[in-house]
Amino acid sequence: MAYRLKFSPRALREIGKAREWYELQSPGLGEEFISAIELQLKRLEQAPLLYSEVIVNVRRALLPRFPYGLFYVVRGNHVHVLAVLHDARNPGHWPKTR
C-alpha cells in the first residue's frame, strides 16, 4: 500500500530555507538537497513504519548525505511531515505554534 504524503507549512518553510542555504554554499547543492528529500519521501510512501519513533508517535527518517531528518506521524494511510530539522536541533524543544 502506498501512503499519501501531507506537509505542514512549517516543514515546507524549513525545506525551502535549507535549500536556499545549501545553494548559497555551492551552486547546485540546494537541488541535491531537494533530491535527497525526494528520495526519502518515496521511501516513506512505501514503508513509513520502518523508521523509529523519536518522540511519542513521531518518527524520524534521516536524509542521505545531509544532516537533516524528516519528522512525521503516520495516521491511517497518510504520512504527515511535521518538520525537517538539522540534526543539531532538538525536536523536543519545538515551538508549540504550527
Domain ranges of the chain: 4-91
State the pLDDT at residue 94: 55
Question: Hey, which CATH number is domain 4-91, 3.90.1150.10, 3.30.2310.20, 3.50.50.60, 3.40.50.10470?
Answer: 3.30.2310.20
**Beta-strand (E) ranges in 1-98?**
4-7, 53-55, 58-62, 68-75, 78-86
Pick from 49, 57, 33, 46: nearest CA to 5: 46
CA distance 62 to 37: 9
Which pLDDT tens digits describe the chain residue by residue (98 residues)? 799 999 999 999 999 999 999 999 999 999 999 999 999 999 999 999 999 999 899 999 999 999 999 999 999 999 999 999 998 765 555 544 44
What residues are paired with 53 via a beta bridge?
A: 59
Pick from 33, 15, 14: nearest CA to 23: 33
